[in-house]
Every structure is written in C-alpha cells, then in structure tokens.
C-alpha cells in the first residue's frame, strides 16, 4: 500500500499532497527493491518521512523541488521539541530522521525530480557524548578476586584473562587472538605484543599481578586445557582445548561481575576504560596512554581526561567546605 493510497496522515494532519506522496512512494520502493532494505527498515523510513512530508505540507510545499534549507532546519527544530504535533525526539532519533530526509532529497536530485538538495548544509543535532564507564580501584579488585573462585584450571584461566585485560588495556579481540609466543613474562621487562585495528602493532608492558596470574595459568592450567585440543598455539583456551571465543570471554566477565556484586553494565571495554582512567588519575601522560591503548589519535584518548576531571569535581564538591552552597 502506498502513501498516496493510504491518504497518509501524520498526527491528525490532512493527507499528504499528491506530489509529495508520489515522491515518497518512489523513494520507498527504491529502498526496498533496488537497495534491498528489509521491510522493518523501510517501515522506519516511512514513519520518519511521512512525518516530514506532513510538516512540509503545512508549510505549503507540495513537491520536493519546492523545499528549501529553511524548511529542513525548521523541521529538525520542530521534532526536537514536538512542536509539529508529534512526539519530541531525542538528538539521536532526530539525527536518524535527518539521515532519512537527506537520502530522500538526494534521490530526488539523482532522479531529476529536483534541481537542488536543500539538506546539503543541514547537520544532525549534536548528541551528548557519553563518558566511558570505569570501575573504581576497589571494584576492579573485587572483580579480579571473584574471577578466581573455585578449583581447577578454569578459575586460573579466568583470573589470568581479567588480570590481563585490566593490566594492559587490551581489547577483548586482541586478548582472545593472542598466541603464547606474543607474551614475554620476563620479570623485569614483561610485555605483550598486541595487534589492534588495521593490524597496528604495539608493545605494552604487563604488570606484576597480571604476570603472576598468567604464569599460574600457563604452568598449572593451560597444559590441562590443551590436552583436549590439537596443540593450539593460542594463549587463552576453552575446556575443549580450542581458542576462547569473544562470547566466552564476555561470559567469564559477567560471571565474575555477578559474584563480585557489581552493579550496572560491566563489559570487557569497561576494563579497558578502567585501565586508561586509572593510569591518568595516577599521573600518566595522555600520549603514553594513547600508545598503550593503540589509539591512532590522541583526541580519542582525551575523553578519559574528562572522566578524571569529572571525578575530581565530584570529590571537591563532596569534601571542600566552601564547595557547597
């Protein structure tokens, strides 16, 4: 059923203008047939663009070629506050709507239905940056202790895995892809060779606690796990002697977090965030942390400085007698 057949309305408005309705039907058909998008995705585009087309109709626009940049920016402002009669949209949802609108107008230009694209200079609303979540040092210690509960090789492996993630800031994909030969546990200069995004190699020091946990795992646990497999060279193995998967590593962390009684979402990336945040809080230079994390740009790493600055503000507000009004 097309937008024209339905006599599409948005939030009690009159049906779409015929020109806009036909243009919308053509674009949705293009998305579904030529670009092969799913019915669910096309339905989402239909909702966003029907609302937009209804707004255009109220501004007297009857075809896409009549639309100007001011119409688009006015619509974005209207949906952010619900001023068009619909539900107010969060910045992320309004941004999705802008993407849909931009695609429709570009399609109209390419198909010769319009001369200009009024969305070319319209930017989606800025979304608030979410600061990475980091564990406190006490919570990190509780988590690591909870990983080694029980007997046998698995608790030794789990403790080694989490100590390694927290002690090196490695991504979970980097950790489960490690070979035994990638880790040098020499007491005075223990280090691991990690391969990040784009196979970018970096050498990261391994701290004493991680060294001890890895050494215990390699001596007392890994040989037993490896007996079930076929001589795999990967460092972290599952109970069948095969490489530990990312999903299994996630399960290790979730189980330890539950045993430790930690509240909220704890992921492997939480340990990476905690690694960076605790280093910076301890006085590490941001460029050193950048190298340890394997970030191509220091700008990516600087978000962690916001975390430590926020912590300092909270401590100041709670502790200083002149901080409270």
pTM of the model: 0.56
In sequence order, the 6+-apart residues with CB closer than 8 A to the CB of 38 are none
Inside any domain, residue 119: no
Same domain, 144 and 213: yes
Q: Is the predicted pLDDT of residue 130 greater than 70, yes or no?
A: no
Q: Is the predicted pLDDT of residue 12 greater than 50, yes or no?
A: no
In sequence order, the 6+-apart residues with CB closer than 8 A to the CB of 321 are none
Same domain, 312 and 224: yes
Which residue range(s) make up the domain with 59? 3-110
Same domain, 200 and 273: yes
Inside any domain, residue 38: yes
Q: How many domains does the chain have?
A: 2
**pLDDT given at position 9:** 45
Residues 217-252 have pLDDT tens digits of 999 999 999 998 887 899 999 999 999 999 999 999
**pLDDT given at position 11:** 44
What percent of the chain stands above pLDDT 90? 48
* CA–CA distances in Å: residue 129 to residues 91, 126, 185, 303, 304: 11, 9, 38, 9, 12
Pairing of strands 183-184, 201-205: unpaired
Inside any domain, residue 128: no
Q: Is the predicted pLDDT of residue 17 greater than 80, yes or no?
A: no
Mean pLDDT calculated for residue range 180-191: 87
In sequence order, the 6+-apart residues with CB closer than 8 A to the CB of 163 are 144, 147, 209, 210, 213, 214
Catalytic residue IDs: 171, 197, 269, 272, 295, 304
Inside any domain, residue 207: yes
Is pLDDT larger for residue 325 or for residue 310? 310
- Name the burial class of residue 289, with classes exposed (0-12), middle (13-18) and buried (19+) by CB atoms within 10 angstroms of its CB: buried
Give dist(CA 304, CA 302) in Å, integer. Answer: 5
Residues 289-323 have pLDDT tens digits of 888 888 766 666 666 666 565 655 665 666 656 56
Same domain, 147 and 266: yes
Same domain, 17 and 165: no
Same domain, 177 and 285: yes
- Name the burial class of residue 45, with classes exposed (0-12), middle (13-18) and buried (19+) by CB atoms within 10 angstroms of its CB: buried
Residue 6 binned pLDDT confidence (cut-offs 50, 70, 90): very low
């Amino acid at each position: 059923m097309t937008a024209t057949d339905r006599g599409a309305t948005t939030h009690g408005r009159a049906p779409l203008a015929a020109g806009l309705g036909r243009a919308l039907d053509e674009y949705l058909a293009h998305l579904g047939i030529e670009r092969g998008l799913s019915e669910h995705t096309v339905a989402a585009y239909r909702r966003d663009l029907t609302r937009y087309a209804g707004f255009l109709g109220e501004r007297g626009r009857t075809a896409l070629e009549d639309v100007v940049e001011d119409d688009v920016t006015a619509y974005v402002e209207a949906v952010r506050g619900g001023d068009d009669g619909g539900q107010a949209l969060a910045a992320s949802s309004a941004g999705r709507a802008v993407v849909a609108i931009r695609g429709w107008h570009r399609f109209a230009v390419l198909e010769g239905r319009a001369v200009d694209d009024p969305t070319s200079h319209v930017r989606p609303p800025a979304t608030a940056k979410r600061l990475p979540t980091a564990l406190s040092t006490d919570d990190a210690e509780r988590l690591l202790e909870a990983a080694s509960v029980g007997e046998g090789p698995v608790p030794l492996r789990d403790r080694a895995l989490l100590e390694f993630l927290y002690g090196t800031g490695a991504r979970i994909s980097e950790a489960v892809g490690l070979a035994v030969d990638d880790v040098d546990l020499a007491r005075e200069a223990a280090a691991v060779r990690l391969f990040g995004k784009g196979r970018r190699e970096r050498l990261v020091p391994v701290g004493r606690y991680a060294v001890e946990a890895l050494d215990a795992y390699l001596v007392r646990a890994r040989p037993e796990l490896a007996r079930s497999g076929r001589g795999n060279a990967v460092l972290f193995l599952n109970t069948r002697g095969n490489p530990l998967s990312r999903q299994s590593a996630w399960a290790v962390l979730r189980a330890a977090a539950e045993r430790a009684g930690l509240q909220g979402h704890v992921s492997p990336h939480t340990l990476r965030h905690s690694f960076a945040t605790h280093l910076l809080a301890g006085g590490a230079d941001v460029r050193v942390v950048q190298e340890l994390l394997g970030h191509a740009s220091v700008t990516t790493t600087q978000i962690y400085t916001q975390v430590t600055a926020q912590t300092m503000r909270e401590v100041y507000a709670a502790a200083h007698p002149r901080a409270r009004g």
